[in-house]
Amino acid sequence: MIIASANDYRKAAKRRVPPFMFHYADGGSYAEQTLARNVSDLSNIALRQRVLKDMSNLNTEIELFGEKLSMPVALAPVGALGMYARRGEVQAAKAADKKGVPFTLSTVSICPIEEVAPAINRPMWFQLYVLKDRGFMKNALERAKAAGCSTLVFTVDMPTPGARYRDMHSGMSGPYKEIRRILQGATHPFWAWDVGIKGKPHSLGNVSKYMGKEIGLDDYIGWLTQNFDPSISWKDLEWIREFWDGPMVIKGILDPEDAKDAVRFGADGIVVSNHGGRQLDGVLSSAKALPSIADAVKGDIKILADSGIRNGLDVVRMIALGADACMLGRAFVYALGAAGQAGVENMFDIFNKEMRVAMTLTSNQKISDITREALVDLSKI
């Protein structure tokens, strides 16, 4: 099929990826209202067309945490990428590396830190969840540091997992024996035998490394679901600081008061995010939450934003609303599932071209030129 936009990868992934994995990425929590609003609120923001200002020296590069990025974009942490393509984390990381942007490895990756970090030339970012097993957290931080990871993305909006009804219908969540039944029927050898199904334990990412043994997918999921920790508080940030002295980004901020606390507790950045509509349904879209957060902390801390970004125009919109950079989630998962590393590379090219057109026609030559002036204030029309 013809791939013109990154959205086409969604259709391609739907054909190629096993249904329960496609819906795991595509779906959100509860009635999926926030998931839908993330996309519609962003696309409803009108860009302000300006012309005749010589845009021949366009530049999409930025600097972030001492790193040079070819565009203001990083890959968001996404768990289980190795189930969307064989050794999927490595494929996505290589694509990001080739295109000059950071890749963030999820805590719950299929490939461990030690496999992905050496596969790329630029430093990897690492995402950490707070888990009851603090020994795991400490071990993961030490391993991330030893592997040369540059930035820590500390995700704080998962003290308890939101219910994903779509996953219950597809068999992705529910009794383990149901998951095992579905996995045993799997006909996709490129991912199936990598993740310890058919009763055969396999090396499953950072958890296997920590446990020092191979485990099966059901043990992995069992370990994880018992381990989310509702006791998480700002004190955990201080604890993490004992083991991590590099840049730290707090992911899952949706309120200006929490953004101010992140500044107070010495974070280097925040990700304005509702986890792609996968946690508390009914909360604000990131696009609607971002302006008041930017008013509260812009300049004091780096602001990243994600949730609902599906093309380069959306990146420009988020920057105009106050973000310094964006994270891409589903957009790259679909591309990875549909076409592996080459798909993710192409997705970056598509985004970059779209950004360039949006910058040219809003008359913004560089990223730091993009302000709310790039948007039409619809309330005044």
Give least dist CB 351 to ligand FNR, A. Answer: 12
Contact between 37 and ligand FNR by CB under 6 A: the answer reads no
Would you put residue 68 in left (φ > 0), alpha (ψ -120 to 50) or beta? beta
Q: In residues, how long is the chain?
A: 381
Q: Is 327 annotated as a binding residue?
A: yes
Residues 365/359, Cβ–Cβ less than 8 Å: yes
Give least dist CB 76 to ligand FNR, A. Answer: 3
25/62 with CB nearer ligand FNR: 25
359: how many CB neighbours lie within 10 A of its CB? 25
Candidate ranges 56-64, 135-143, 171-179, 328-336; the one touching ligand FNR (CB under 6 A):
328-336
Please give the single-letter amino acid code of residue 189: P
Give least dist CB 158 to ligand FNR, A. Answer: 7
The C-alpha atoms of residue 165 and residue 172 are separated, in whole angstroms, by 10
Contact between 24 and ligand FNR by CB under 6 A: the answer reads yes
The C-alpha atoms of residue 271 and residue 334 are separated, in whole angstroms, by 21
134: how many CB neighbours lie within 10 A of its CB? 12
The answer to whether 23 is a known catalytic residue is no
Residues 335/310, Cβ–Cβ less than 8 Å: no
Indicate which single residue of 13, 62, 69, 77 sits in contact with ligand FNR (rule: CB under 6 A): 77
Contact between 281 and ligand FNR by CB under 6 A: the answer reads no
Mask for 118-157, x = binds ligand FNR (CB under 6 A): ---------x---------------------------x--
* DSSP states of 72-136: SEEEPP-TTGGGTSTTHHHHHHHHHHHHT--BEE-TT-SS-HHHHGGGSSSPPEEEEE-BS-HHH
Give least dist CB 214 to ligand FNR, A. Answer: 21
Q: Among 169, 188, 202, 275, which one carries the catalytic annotation?
A: 275
Indicate which single residue of 62, 69, 73, 78 sits in contact with ligand FNR (rule: CB under 6 A): 78
- The encoded tokens of residue 191 equal 């991912």
Contact between 164 and ligand FNR by CB under 6 A: the answer reads no
Contact between 251 and ligand FNR by CB under 6 A: the answer reads yes
Give least dist CB 346 to ligand FNR, A. Answer: 17
Would you put residue 233 in left (φ > 0), alpha (ψ -120 to 50) or beta? beta
Contact between 314 and ligand FNR by CB under 6 A: the answer reads no
Question: Would you list which residues are annotated within the binding site for glyoxylate?
Answer: 24, 129, 164, 275, 278
The residues of the shown chain that bind ligand FNR, judged by CB under 6 A, are 24-25, 38, 76-79, 106-108, 127, 155, 251, 273, 275-276, 278, 306-309, 328-330, 333
Kindly list the catalytic residues.
275
